[in-house]
């Protein structure tokens, strides 16, 4: 059975009709196919030989409501491709991008493509940079270096990571003079896995006290072996390995290296959570750097907002002490509140001088009304200028 589409004569191709280019041929024929409700594809024969037109079709056309789904009627414009890139940079999912196009154009049928077409655009972009990603990133860094040749070139003094072996090897190779510390938090998280339930109930706190409260290597080692004996873990290979690595994670050993009070990568974990809002494992290297820079710019803007508040908002003074007033003028609002709480707590300590000479003073400190807290000894050295 033959089917003849109902199309105006001026829209119909003519036998032997010639066109300037293949694209012109395709556009004319595709406009006709839209009215006729069928799809077309490009062929070089269309331009070389011209058109031989047969109006009859051996199958019925699609319904009017489905014309926009025909392959030749679907395309993602250059403007929409650019908009897709912008929307992806701010992590708008594809399905929401399509909803935006649908709203702008007044319905699915007017968008000119399907959601799958948008996903294919993203897929094709990834394929284009595949195998060239490192080169693109390298050229980017070279360009940035030319813009700012004074970028810091020295290695960090201290790095804190988990016990990833590949990372440890890389840091030792690339940054041989950097102190590489292991994250205490990650190691403590492994105790349940490397011991047993009875150990965690009866002896875990004993090991934590040994780790955190030992003020020198000698004290740590004494406490560690005592804890091993009490917990009957002298043959635990993992604990033995952790002891061998004590110089990389036990505070009594590593506190001599300045690390701004950090003993774990937990502070970095919070930064990871922030940057994960902008980056994910699907990003190309160049895309990751672009997103990372955008996240850092956002973070800097938030800091500007905080600076504005610090300059224009006066913190509440609660203690009526001169040092409180002085620090309110020096610290940011966030850290002043932290200092204020510490200052308040300091009133709960008794400090006794036990020894004093020309070189140093020794004090014992003890918290008032606190139970099971040992007395601490503080030494203040007098430096002669």
pLDDT in tens, the chain (385 residues): 666 767 777 677 777 777 777 777 777 877 777 777 777 776 655 545 555 566 666 667 777 777 777 777 788 888 889 999 888 888 888 999 999 999 988 888 888 888 899 999 988 888 888 888 888 888 888 888 888 877 667 788 999 998 999 999 999 999 999 999 999 989 999 999 999 999 999 999 999 999 999 989 999 999 999 999 999 999 999 999 999 999 999 999 998 888 777 766 556 666 777 788 888 887 888 888 888 888 889 989 998 998 888 888 888 898 889 999 999 888 888 889 999 999 988 888 888 888 888 888 999 888 877 666 777 888 888 765 5
Q: Is residue 215 located within the same domain as residue 306?
A: no
Q: Is residue 173 located within the same domain as residue 266?
A: yes
Q: Is residue 105 located within the same domain as residue 37?
A: no
Q: Is residue 166 located within the same domain as residue 233?
A: yes
Residue 205 maps to a domain? yes
Q: Is residue 189 located within the same domain as residue 236?
A: yes
Q: What is the DSSP string of 64-88?
A: GGGGGGSGGG----HHHHHHHHHHH
The encoded tokens of residue 175 equal: 């940054």
Q: Is residue 27 located within the same domain as residue 57?
A: yes
Q: How high is the pLDDT of residue 196?
A: 92
- Among 31, 51, 73, identify where a domain stops: 73
Residue 151 maps to a domain? no
The domain tally of the chain equals: 6
Residue 120 maps to a domain? yes
Q: Is residue 222 located within the same domain as residue 264?
A: yes
Residue 88 maps to a domain? yes
Q: Is residue 250 located within the same domain as residue 166?
A: yes
* Burial category of 129 from C-beta neighbours within 10 Å (exposed 0-12, middle 13-18, buried 19 and up): middle
Distance CA(37)–CA(65), nearest Å, equals 10
What long-range pairs does 304-313 form, CB within 8 A, spacing at least 24? 306/332, 306/333, 306/334, 307/332, 309/333
Residue 294 maps to a domain? yes
Length of the chain: 385
What long-range pairs does 130-134 form, CB within 8 A, spacing at least 24? 133/284, 133/285, 133/286, 134/285
Distance CA(191)–CA(19), nearest Å, equals 77
Question: What are 362's strand-pairing partners?
Answer: 355, 379
Domain residues for the domain of 380 are 348-385
Q: Is residue 192 located within the same domain as residue 296?
A: no
pTM of the model: 0.53
Residue 111 maps to a domain? yes
Q: Is residue 226 located within the same domain as residue 214?
A: yes
Residue 189 maps to a domain? yes
Distance CA(240)–CA(324), nearest Å, equals 48
Cα 242–chain centre separation: 30
Q: Is residue 174 located within the same domain as residue 218?
A: yes
Residue 250 maps to a domain? yes
Q: Is residue 366 located within the same domain as residue 288?
A: no
Q: Using an 8 Å Cβ cutoff, are 278 and 242 in contact? A: no
Helix (H) or strand (E) holding 46: helix 45-48
- Among 27, 53, 73, identify where a domain stops: 73
């Amino acid at each position: 059975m033959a089917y003849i589409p109902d199309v105006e004569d001026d829209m119909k191709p003519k036998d032997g009709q010639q066109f300037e280019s293949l694209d012109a041929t395709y556009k004319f024929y595709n406009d006709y196919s839209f009215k006729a409700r069928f799809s077309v594809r490009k062929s070089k024969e269309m331009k070389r030989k011209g058109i031989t037109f047969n109006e009859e079709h051996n199958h019925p056309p699609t319904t009017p409501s489905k014309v926009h789904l025909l392959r030749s009627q679907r395309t993602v414009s250059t403007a929409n491709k650019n908009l897709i890139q912008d929307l992806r940079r701010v992590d708008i999912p594809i399905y929401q991008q399509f909803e935006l196009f649908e709203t702008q154009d007044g319905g699915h049928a007017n968008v000119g493509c399907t959601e799958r077409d948008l996903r294919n655009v993203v897929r094709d972009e990834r394929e284009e940079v595949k195998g060239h990603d490192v080169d693109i990133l390298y050229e980017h860094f070279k360009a940035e270096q030319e813009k700012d040749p004074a970028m810091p070139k020295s290695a960090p003094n201290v790095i804190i990571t988990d016990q990833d072996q590949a990372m440890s090897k890389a840091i030792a190779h690339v940054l041989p003079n950097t102190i590489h510390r292991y994250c205490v938090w990650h190691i403590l998280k492994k105790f349940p896995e490397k011991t047993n339930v009875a150990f965690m109930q009866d002896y875990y706190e004993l090991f934590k006290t040994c780790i955190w409260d030992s003020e020198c290597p000698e004290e740590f080692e004494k406490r560690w072996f005592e804890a091993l004996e009490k917990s009957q873990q002298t043959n635990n290979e993992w604990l033995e390995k952790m002891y061998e690595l004590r110089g990389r994670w036990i505070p009594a050993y590593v506190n001599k290296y300045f690390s701004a009070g950090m003993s774990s990568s937990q502070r970095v974990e919070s930064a990871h959570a922030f940057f994960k809002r902008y980056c994910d494992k699907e990003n190309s290297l160049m895309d990751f750097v672009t997103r990372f820079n955008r996240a850092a710019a956002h973070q800097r803007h938030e800091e500007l907002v905080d600076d504005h508040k610090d300059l224009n908002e006066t913190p509440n003074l609660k203690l009526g002490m001169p040092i409180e007033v002085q620090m309110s003028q020096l610290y940011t609002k966030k850290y002043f509140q932290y200092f204020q709480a510490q200052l308040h707590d300091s009133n709960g300590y008794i400090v006794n001088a036990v020894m004093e000479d020309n070189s140093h003073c020794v004090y014992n400190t003890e918290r008032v009304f606190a139970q099971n807290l040992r007395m601490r000894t503080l030494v203040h050295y007098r430096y002669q200028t």
